[in-house]
Amino acid sequence: MTTPTLGNPVPDFSLTATSGKTFRLSEFKDKASVVLYFYPKDSTPGCTTEGQDFRDAYPQFVAAGVEIFGISRDSLKSHENFKAKQAFPFELLADTEELACQLFDVIKMKNMYGKQVRGIERSTFLIDQQGVLRREWRKLTVKGHVAEVLAAVNALSST
């Protein structure tokens, strides 16, 4: 499967979600735009801050017709704990087999404490109601990111 490119449809995929649900991208077609944010690891400082920022802005995303989903390689149990502890109103998706991570090409070699490790490069993707990739943010910085995504969502919904 090739990596989605801007202006083109994103291939359908499914992942196990928190709250006993299964996420299928195709289920949102003609219903809602989708923000998928990939993050390295549950309960780590940057990932917690990013999730809290999405949580705090969640009502604004919903008002704009957007659903948010966080994705990492953590287990469903880890996701359930992280979601409950942070009171996230959105689902977290467990990509333990790296299916979505490979689709969106977010697994990269990173330096951690002087060693090369494979991990998720923090990235966010905005997919419209027709399933078309409209925006992507890669190698992003947490501070100010959610506000930038919300601005893009508002710009998309006003067109």
Give the residue numbers marked as catalytic: 47
Q: How far apart are CA 93 and CA 148, in angstroms?
A: 22
In order, the DSSP letters of 70-116 are EEESS-HHHHHHHHHHHT-SSEEEE-TT-HHHHHTT-EEEEEETTEE
The continuous run of DSSP H or E covering 136 comes out as: strand 133-138
